[in-house]
Amino acid sequence: MIPLPFLMILAMMLWGGGWPALKILTESVSWEVATFWRFALMSIAFLPVLWWHKKPLRVSLHALGWVTLSGLLNAVFMALSFWGVAAGTAGAGGVIITTLSPVITVGIAVAFLGFKPSQRHVTGLMIGLVGGAVMLQITNSDLLFHGGNLIFLLSALVWAVLTLSAQRSHLHLDPIHYTFFLGLIATVFMFFIAYPLGIGSVFNQDLRFWGALLYLAVLGQTVASSIYFIASGAMGSSKASSYMFLVPVSALGTSYLLLGEIPSLTLILGGLISIAAVYLINNPLKRDLS
């Protein structure tokens, strides 16, 4: 069996590659239409996973409530991500969301769920935040609050709540089934929003568009999200979310290769600091949320 830490690193690399893919999609269709098709294709791509899993697809009313909340949050998060990338840059999205989400997750857990992080865990989170600050050049307020950056900040909050909701859902629903329902509910939700805008417009797009869309739906969503939510249940949401510090490194690299966004020295340095944060956080905690 492949160790969870290795799988989580793979998932973060796949997520990082999704940011330039998002930018490619926003160049051709509205974020509403792109979001709907991402979730629709994810739901279809997940059918072989369900067959491989070989467990009856059952959901209780209590579990349905949690997964419905998660599905709506997932749709909101993805809509905000598309909106933010359309207004800003792919690299900024990968940095702001992934460095703030773990900190917000732990903050919510401490404030409302009685979570008591270890000193090493807190230190790792603070180092990760420093890494994000270095990558963003935080002393430049115009840079921090420009374009889609404020949208990315809101996205980080939504993702933190979604991470905690995912862990609660795992108490009542198999993680694989949870991830499938997550995409299915988001698909239905986004259909009613995207339909008036012309969901068939994607069939007029080129191979570059479809390559980005399929990457997001299959690798960035079906594969990476399945790994992440399974890990949230096994590791605890606070520890699983710490791996998100690796996403900026992948996001910056793929944004350079696909979009020509040249990372600065500060972005590279911040990425290395964030990797150090992952090392510190992934040690036994005094108490987890599980």
Neighbours of 65 (CB within 10 A): 13
Tell me the residue range of the domain where 151 lies.
Answer: 4-281
Q: What is the pLDDT of residues 231-282, one digit of tens each?
A: 766 777 667 767 777 887 888 888 888 888 777 777 678 778 877 777 776 6
Q: What is the pLDDT of residues 41-56, one digit of tens each?
A: 989 988 888 887 778 8
Q: What is the pLDDT of residues 131-165, one digit of tens each?
A: 877 776 666 666 556 656 778 888 989 988 888 88
Q: Does any domain span residue 290?
A: no
Q: Does any domain span residue 57?
A: yes
Contact 218, 110 (CB under 8 A): no
Distance CA 194, CA 183 (A): 15
- Cβ neighbours for 73, distance < 8 A, ≥ 6 positions apart: 158, 161, 162, 165
Distance CA 5, CA 226 (A): 14
State how many domains the chain has: 1
Q: Does any domain span residue 288?
A: no
Whether 182 shows a pLDDT value over 90: the answer reads no
Report which of residues 187 and 178 the model is more confident about: 187
Neighbours of 275 (CB within 10 A): 16
Q: At what angle do helices 149-169 and 90-112 cross, to 10 degrees?
A: 50
Q: At what angle do helices 247-259 and 90-112 cross, to 10 degrees?
A: 160
Distance CA 191, CA 195 (A): 6
Q: What is the pLDDT of residues 74-114, one digit of tens each?
A: 889 988 888 888 777 787 788 778 777 877 877 787 777 77
Q: Does any domain span residue 159?
A: yes
Quickly state the pLDDT bin for 288 (edges 50, 70, 90): very low
Q: b/e for 113-144, b at 16 or more Cβ within 10 A?
A: eebebeeebeebbebbbbbbbbbbeeeeeeeb
Q: Does any domain span residue 289?
A: no
Looking at residue 142, its pLDDT comes to 61
**Averaged confidence pLDDT in the chain:** 80
Amino acid at 240: A
Q: Does any domain span residue 212?
A: yes
Q: Does any domain span residue 287?
A: no
Whether 196 shows a pLDDT value over 90: the answer reads yes
Contact 182, 64 (CB under 8 A): no
Q: What is the pLDDT of residues 3-58, one digit of tens each?
A: 778 888 888 889 888 888 888 888 888 888 988 998 999 899 888 888 877 788 77
Quickly state the pLDDT bin for 69 (edges 50, 70, 90): confident
Q: Does any domain span residue 167?
A: yes
Looking at residue 246, its pLDDT comes to 80
Report which of residues 73 and 114 the model is more confident about: 73
> Which strand (E) or helix (H) includes residue 126?
helix 119-136
